[in-house]
């Protein structure tokens, strides 16, 4: 992730790109979060004819479940970082507009 100005790319374009990136990362994270219950059910179904509570305990102790949860949390982390970048670019544009407005005001005096 780059910080600061991107040479020759208008801030509005940077904000647009960051917003698109955030939307994509957020959708990926949300998909994993929304399918968590379905994935758990599928994995429990593979355990055969045993009580649901036993199947759930086996699944939740598995490397496959740990990997799924780790992937889900990492996807949310990436989405959050993309949102931070988007918000930082919007703040930078607002700061720049304020600086320019102050300069115009000073030049009038």
Average pLDDT, the chain: 93
Gap between the Cα atoms of 88 and 74, Å rounded: 21
Q: pLDDT at position 1, please?
A: 46
What is the phi/psi pair of residue 21, to 5°?
Answer: -60, -45
Contacts of 78 (CB under 8 A, 6+ apart): 25, 28, 29
Q: Is the dihedral of CA 49, 54, 59, 63 positive or negative?
A: negative
Residue-wise pLDDT for 29-76, tens only, equals 999 999 999 999 999 999 999 999 999 999 999 999 999 999 999 999
């Amino acid at each position: 992730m780059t910080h600061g100005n991107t040479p020759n790319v208008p801030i509005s374009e940077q904000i647009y790109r960051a917003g698109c990136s955030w939307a994509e990362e957020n959708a990926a994270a949300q998909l994993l979060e929304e399918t968590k219950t379905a994935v758990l059910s599928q994995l429990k179904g593979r355990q055969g004819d045993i009580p649901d509570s036993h199947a759930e305990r086996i699944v939740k102790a598995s490397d496959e479940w740990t990997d799924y949860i780790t992937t889900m949390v990492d996807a949310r982390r990436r989405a959050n970082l993309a949102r931070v970048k988007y918000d930082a670019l919007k703040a930078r544009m607002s700061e720049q507009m304020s600086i320019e407005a102050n300069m115009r005001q000073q030049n009038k005096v």
